[in-house]
Amino acid sequence: MIDKKFWYKGMLLLSTVGLLAACGTDDTTDSGDTSEDTTEDTEETDEMASEDTPEKPESLHIWVNDEEVQLDAYEQITANFTEEHDIDVEITPYSMLEQTEGMSLDAPSGQGPDLFFQPHDRMGDIHLQGLAAELNLTEDQLSRLGEYNEAAVNAFSYEGGQYGIPAVVETYGLFINTDLVPEAPETMDELMETARELTEGDQYGFMMDAANLYFTYPFLTADGGYIFAQNEDGTYDTSDIGLNTPEAVESVEMIQSWFEEGLMPEGTDLEVANSLFMDGKVGMIVNGPWAIPDYEAAIGENLMVTELPSKDGEPLTSFSGNKGWLVNYYTEAEYWATELALFMTNEESSATYFDVAGELPAHAAVEIDDELMKPIFAQTLNAHPMPNIPEMSQVWEPMGDALQFIQRGDDVQTVLDETVQTIESEISMMGQ
């Protein structure tokens, strides 16, 4: 679970500052006209704020992922920033997946951008390479960041420091063919009841890529299982792996029951599940918004999207991938680069970005009108970011293997114990 103490410690600091200011107020009252004093105080505060704000650079340079719709969106957004702040923004198209290599070559010599764009699960490597600056957020900046998706913000923290401003959030939901399932299940019990009623012959009620940790995470953690424990400051404790706890075993036994009951054929992957869903032979499937165009083309108005169901009164928590802006460690304009990152991801800019690029925003206040994307956006508020530490790379394959063994009927506790041992062994060898 995400520990909220890490998120709120900054907000508590703001509250403490306000309290101290209130306690320091003179208790004496003056019945005279204070308007002149108030005006002078405001002017003095504005002057102090101006003195504390670093001088504006003539321009800022950013690397934008080289997809046309993203470039179009950021050209509009940065033009608004220039109009408001009188700072030009230079955009360089640069593949997101190649940016870290470019940063390692260009940034130390001063040739890199002020901001670069990355997925959150690369934070561990980015931190180890020293490419991103730890953000020194002002009280005002921290207050604005408080309007964002909390988990997405935490996704760009590392070892207790904040290193990025989230821009977009990606997760998945439940896709439904209303010709087979007229009403969306609200609970796992309802989902399984519907799955049993519909599954017969070559028709299935519910399908998903059940050997993929990314998609099975909500079900694997439904009873309290976890991958790595988290400390109060949001850091991960890689010595505490929760994939073979009694809670995790209970959840994985539920996944195994899908195959024991014949609700899913052994070896089903996303390609098979997608094909059957688009052929109208599956009532419900877990997938992400990238599948919407194909699904709409196949089943048209029968397509419905909902959030994942609840279990025991608690919503299932999906895995999320977040992308955001990082400040170059070597930039000489850290404050204004941070301001640009916050501007490009604020409510207005995020709405523009969604309209143009179609990616869901990390800013929680944006209104999403699209009936198919709106449930996915709601699910992002019930999503856990994939752990952003290098050790996570040792989890994917062993858990994928474990989920395949479980489909075949192997003992769940034994499989998960062996899997955790493998993960621990692989982690211990990292860096040797």
| Structure confidence by residue, pLDDT tens digits, 240-288 | 999 999 999 999 999 999 999 999 999 889 999 999 999 999 999 999 9
| C-alpha span between 122 and 387 (Å, rounded) | 10
Tokens of 369: 């009108």
Q: How many CA atoms lie within 13 A of 362 on its CB side?
A: 33
- Starting at the edge strand found earlier in the chain, the sheet holding 173-177 runs 204-207, 282-287, 173-177, 303-306
Q: Per-residue pLDDT for 177 more than 70?
A: yes
β-strand pairing of 303-306 with 204-207: unpaired
Q: How confident is the model at residue 232 (pLDDT cuts 50, 70, 90)?
A: confident
Residues 137-141, mean pLDDT to the nearest whole number: 97
Q: Per-residue pLDDT for 12 more than 70?
A: no
Q: Per-residue pLDDT for 337 more than 60?
A: yes
Residues 344-356, mean pLDDT to the nearest whole number: 98
The percentage of residues in the chain with a pLDDT greater than 70, rounded to a whole number, is: 88
382-421 b/e (C-beta count within 10 Å ≥ 16 → b) = bbbbbbbbbbbebbeebbbebbebbbeeeebeebbebbbe
pTM, to two decimals: 0.85
The percentage of residues in the chain with a pLDDT greater than 90, rounded to a whole number, is: 85
Please check whether residue 214 is in contact with residue 170, taking contact to mean a CB–CB distance below 8 angstroms: no
Q: How confident is the model at residue 233 (pLDDT cuts 50, 70, 90)?
A: confident
Q: Per-residue pLDDT for 169 more than 70?
A: yes
The reported pLDDT for the residue numbered 162 is 96
The reported pLDDT for the residue numbered 260 is 97
CA dist list (Å): 74 to 112, 156, 167: 18, 21, 11
| Structure confidence by residue, pLDDT tens digits, 367-413 | 999 999 999 999 999 999 999 999 999 999 999 999 999 999 999 99
Q: How confident is the model at residue 432 (pLDDT cuts 50, 70, 90)?
A: low
| Structure confidence by residue, pLDDT tens digits, 194-216 | 999 999 999 999 999 999 999 99
| C-alpha span between 272 and 270 (Å, rounded) | 5
Chain centre to alpha carbon of residue 35: 47
| Structure confidence by residue, pLDDT tens digits, 20-64 | 333 343 333 343 444 444 444 444 433 434 557 899 999 999 999
Residue 334, phi then psi, degrees to nearest 5: -60, -45
Number of CB atoms found within 10 A of residue 304's CB: 19
Helix (H, G, I), strand (E, B) or coil at 167: strand
CA angle 323, 304, 155 (to 5 degrees): 20
| C-alpha span between 165 and 117 (Å, rounded) | 10
* Helix (H), strand (E) at residue 337: helix 334-344
Please check whether residue 353 is in contact with residue 163, taking contact to mean a CB–CB distance below 8 angstroms: no
Tokens of 398: 């062993």
* Helix 213-220 / helix 246-260 crossing angle, nearest 10 deg: 110
Average pLDDT score over the chain: 90
CA dist list (Å): 260 to 149, 205, 254, 266: 38, 15, 10, 9
One-letter identity of residue 136: N
Number of CB atoms found within 10 A of residue 50's CB: 8
The reported pLDDT for the residue numbered 234 is 83
Domain 54-170+320-384: CATH class, spelled out: alpha beta
Q: Do 54-170+320-384 and 173-318+388-428 fold alike per CATH? A: yes
Tokens of 212: 């993929």
More confident residue, 179 or 48: 179
β-strand pairing of 282-287 with 204-207: parallel
The reported pLDDT for the residue numbered 215 is 98
* Helix (H), strand (E) at residue 188: helix 188-198
Q: In terms of C-beta density within 10 A (0-12 exposed, 13-18 middle, 19 or more buried), how is residue 378 classed?
A: middle
Residues 4-27, mean pLDDT to the nearest whole number: 38
Residues 117-137, mean pLDDT to the nearest whole number: 96
Rg (CA), the chain: 25
| C-alpha span between 118 and 155 (Å, rounded) | 12
Please check whether residue 132 is in contact with residue 329, taking contact to mean a CB–CB distance below 8 angstroms: yes
Q: Where do we find the tokens 């479980």?
A: 406
Query: Under CATH, domain 173-318+388-428 is a member of which superfamily?
Result: Periplasmic binding protein-like II (3.40.190.10)
Sorted by where each begins, the domain ranges of the chain are 54-170+320-384, 173-318+388-428
CA dist list (Å): 164 to 92, 119, 247, 344: 19, 10, 33, 13
Q: Per-residue pLDDT for 349 more than 50?
A: yes
